[in-house]
Structure 1
Amino acid sequence: MTSQKHDKTADNKPLKIGITGGIGAGKSTVCKIFAALGIPVYDADSRAKRLLVEDSELMEQIRAAFGGEAYFPEGGLNRVWLAAQVFSKPDQLAQLNKLVHPRVGLDFESWYQQQEAPYVLKEAALLFEAGSYKSLDAVITVTAPQPLRLRRTLMRDEHRSREQVEDIMQRQLPEEERIQRSQFKIVNDEHSLVLPQVLRLHRQLLRRELPAAG
């Protein structure tokens, strides 16, 4: 694969690099390595949880769309109730994402303006599904076999059943499509060493070399 110097070199703005992967792929672990190398990481999923209780405009939109039960009287998010409204209901989940993702996008841009680094990472599980990849310079997919991802998730998320995790996997982009739509791939299958992959990619991004278009 050929690469080219990215044209943002002139204005010296950090490259915006997305990092995604199916549930249990280990993208958060990979992000910790990048963070240890001094690269700022924006965790879209955790920021979204904060915005749901801190962004007054988003909170009003949630109440209008799902009802006042979405929040407790003191202002906290009724996560169990809201999850029940969208679980296994694609139209309701799409409505929730339609409200949350634009606010996360604005929050990311605000965060990005404060960063001083050769590049930044935006970590998000639904990078392609939400369409936010369109505003990024390149995307890294962290990949692992589905049985391994399932096992990791069940060990990590004791509150989730096997059926719930499999349902999440079914609703996420197929692994092959995610890889095909990404510019870079990191294999985290417990056989391939992750650190050398990250260091190699880190050096390439420091040189601001991205795959040539087409």
Structure 2
Amino acid sequence: MKKPLVVGITGGIGSGKTTVVEIFKKLNVPVYIADKKAKSLMQNDSNLIKRIKKSFGDQSYDINGNLNSTYLSNIVFNDSKKLASLNSIVHPAVRKDFQSWLSQQRAKYILYESALIFEHEQQDKFDCIILVTAPREVRIKRVQKRDNCSANDVIKRIDNQMDEKIKIKKADIIIENIKYKELSQKISSINYKILTKLY
């Protein structure tokens, strides 16, 4: 049987990737959510846990063996070298897990969801890339509501990510996520396009 096409799906904070992914799931498209899987592997993969403790100290996990996300975040988000070090430990484990998951899929195409496809220069690994976008003010309001934080906090997070204009030039398909009703129609049309034109 032909291997599924691998379609990347990405977008900045507050763009509404999760909503878009849920609609694709309703169309029976298998989805691999890289960030969620990375957290799961960091919590459950014994080899990964050993390597993280060796690089960042035993405090990376609490006494119950749970990942100490606050401790790790404080280290890596204030030091780009430490962040690169953590990525070099976690990313290969995620890639290996993804390849194992992909080998079990029987759909015509799958989605690989990650916020940082372009930031990590992974775009060449996909048959095509979907970018989810939304106006800046919409994104700010969404994240404020979701995370119960100030507009300034959200703006800082947005400004730390790659400029959306650059991502638009790099992406193959753009989904502007503003109204849910229109979104469902757009995604049905994109699903058809992927199945007929790309496959």
The amino acid that maps onto 2:110 is V
Aligned residue runs from structure 1 range 37-52, under 5 A: 37-52=27-42
1:147 aligns to 2:137 (yes or no): yes
- What is the DSSP-based 3-state SS (H/G/I as helix, E as strand, rest coil) of the residue aligned with 2:106? coil
CA–CA distance in structure 2, aligned partners of residues 179 and 32 of structure 1 = 22
Aligned residue runs from structure 1 range 194-209, under 5 A: 194-209=183-198
CA–CA distance in structure 1, aligned partners of residues 172 and 73 of structure 2 = 33
- What is the DSSP-based 3-state SS (H/G/I as helix, E as strand, rest coil) of the residue aligned with 2:14? coil
Where has structure 1 moved over 4 Å in runs of 4 or more? none
More helix by share: 2
Cα deviation, residue 61, structure 1: 1.8
Corresponding residue for 2:110?
120
Aligned residues: 199
Per the normalisation by structure 1, the TM-score is 0.86
Corresponding residue for 2:52?
62
Aligned residue runs from structure 1 range 1-214, under 5 A: 12-158=2-148, 160-190=149-179, 193-209=182-198
CA–CA distance in structure 2, aligned partners of residues 131 and 103 of structure 1 = 17
Does 44-53 or 187-196 show the bigger shift?
187-196
CA–CA distance in structure 1, aligned partners of residues 152 and 171 of structure 2 = 28
Deviations 1:74-113 (A, max 9, x none): 3211111111112343332232222222211111111111
Cα deviation, residue 191, structure 1: 8.8
**Structure 1 residues 145 and 75: CA distance shift in structure 2, 3 A:** same
CA–CA distance in structure 2, aligned partners of residues 161 and 57 of structure 1 = 38
Deviations 1:38-74 (A, max 9, x none): 1001111111110111112221221122111111233
Return 5+ residue gaps in structure 1 as ranges: 1-10
**Over aligned residue pairs, what C-alpha RMSD do you find?**
1.9
CA–CA distance in structure 1, aligned partners of residues 52 and 76 of structure 2 = 12
Per the normalisation by structure 2, the TM-score is 0.92
CA–CA distance in structure 1, aligned partners of residues 87 and 95 of structure 2 = 12
% identical aligned pairs: 39
- What is the DSSP-based 3-state SS (H/G/I as helix, E as strand, rest coil) of the residue aligned with 2:175? strand
